[in-house]
Amino acid sequence: MIQAGVVGATGYAGAELVRLLSGHPQAELAAISSVSFEGKSLSEVYSAYYHLCDMACGTQSEVVEKSDVIFAALPHGLSQDLAAECYEKGKVFIDLGADFRLENEEDYKEWYGGSFLYPELHEISVYALPELFRENIRGKKIIANPGCYTTAVPLALAPALQNGLIEKDGIVADCKSGVTGAGRKPTQNTHYPELNEGMSAYKVASHRHTPEIEQSLSHVAGSNVKVTFTPHLLPVNRGILATCYAKLKSGVTVEQLYAAYQNQYQNEYFIRLLPKGVEADIKNVRYSNFCDISLHADSRTNTLIAISAIDNMVKGAAGQAIQNMNLAFGLDETAGLRQFPPAF
């Protein structure tokens, strides 16, 4: 059994990692850590885990020593030293934060205010969105797990871009997120009276996922792609709905679009290309690692409307991290992740 450790286990993504690892056939939880709750069991923090995971939160060093793979569910800026320690000890390091996601250090400085502390580690790290960059992930030791919006948007647009069916200019990603994406620490805009019965945009034209989305789409397109990205906060716990707009190239038909998406995704277990006339909905992917995609064409404006839906805590965080662990260790990519979404 692969020994898995979670640093930052009491945050939402960390707790979700524990939940999913508990059902993995070839991995088991070896150690967890939390700065805020060191010495307390995870079930003291989350009552739902009572008698299911009563493991006590230890130190970060204990997690590294006891584990073959370390998942870091930490805010940006806290993962680089840990990655260096793990690499020195021959461990696999999977970062759910942003420290290794951007290839260009200037972008990291601009959007996160930090720098690459270990340039040599950034050179050997891999950005791990499996359905687009799978072959780069196998056997790697330092893995950057994509964010939630940065999973939903590229998956919605990649086949259209890769097959030259849409224009690269003027792409718009209009996205909605459940409140767990804001993390466990309370803030004014996630306070129940502020959030309930409302929906609002936030970080308009300034969200840190923007360069990450553009980086993935540029790799797929083979040239520079810019995106207008606007996120919104939904009064629900889970889910990302990404509604993406792009101008169709002249003469492109709906049949061509479906053929391109079917060809690219037909062997992808976690991507479900929905039938014509069916819209992607976050309720249909809850608690699962699936990404549902629906395609629509506005003939009046010659516009592709590609909609993707994921659970931001699973495919947008912990589930994708385990998918990447499976790839890194040469396991069945779907191991531990075949849970059905609930029907209602």
d(Cα 194, Cα 196) in Å, to the nearest integer?
Answer: 6
Average pLDDT over residues 3-20: 97
Paired sense of beta strands 227-233 and 240-247, if any: unpaired
CB 198 within 8 A of CB 209: no
Whole-number percent of the chain with pLDDT over 90: 95
* pLDDT 10s digits, 181-197: 888 887 888 888 988 99
Select which of 53, 57, 86, 148 is catalytic.
Answer: 148
CB 24 within 8 A of CB 336: yes
User: Is the predicted pLDDT of residue 173 greater than 90, yes or no?
Assistant: yes
- Consecutive H or E run containing 130: helix 130-137
Beta-carbon contacts of residue 252 (< 8 Å; ≥ 6 apart): 165, 166
d(Cα 316, Cα 197) in Å, to the nearest integer?
Answer: 24
User: For residue 24, which phi and psi values (nearest 5 degrees)?
Assistant: -85, 130
| DSSP at 282 | G
CA angle 93, 96, 100 (to 5 degrees): 70
Residue (of 56, 52, 65, 3) closest to 32 by Cα position: 56
| Residue 17 tokens, joined | 């990692």
User: Is the predicted pLDDT of residue 126 greater than 90, yes or no?
Assistant: yes
pLDDT of residue 186: 79
* Residue 53 annotated to the active site: no
CA angle 64, 132, 93 (to 5 degrees): 5
pLDDT of residue 189: 81
| Residue 269 tokens, joined | 């277990």
CB 2 within 8 A of CB 10: no
* pLDDT 10s digits, 28-45: 999 999 999 999 999 999
pLDDT of residue 326: 98
Residue (of 144, 139, 111) closest to 129 by Cα position: 144
Biggest distance spanned by C-alpha atoms of the chain: 63
| Residue 144 tokens, joined | 């950057």
pLDDT of residue 195: 87
Average pLDDT over residues 233-260: 96
CA angle 196, 200, 202 (to 5 degrees): 125
In whole angstroms, how far apart are CA 157 and each of 22, 24, 107, 246, 337?
Answer: 33, 31, 22, 9, 24
pLDDT of residue 140: 95
pLDDT of residue 188: 84
Paired sense of beta strands 240-247 and 171-177, if any: antiparallel
CB 78 within 8 A of CB 189: no
* pLDDT 10s digits, 61-109: 999 999 999 999 999 999 999 999 999 999 999 999 999 999 999 999 9
Average pLDDT over residues 275-301: 97
User: Is the predicted pLDDT of residue 118 greater than 90, yes or no?
Assistant: yes
pLDDT band at 210 (very low <50, low <70, confident <90, very high): very high
User: Is the predicted pLDDT of residue 47 greater than 90, yes or no?
Assistant: yes
Average pLDDT over residues 116-127: 97
Average pLDDT over residues 143-163: 97
pLDDT band at 342 (very low <50, low <70, confident <90, very high): very high
User: Is the predicted pLDDT of residue 280 greater than 90, yes or no?
Assistant: yes
Q: What is the mean pLDDT of the chain?
A: 96
CB 239 within 8 A of CB 211: no
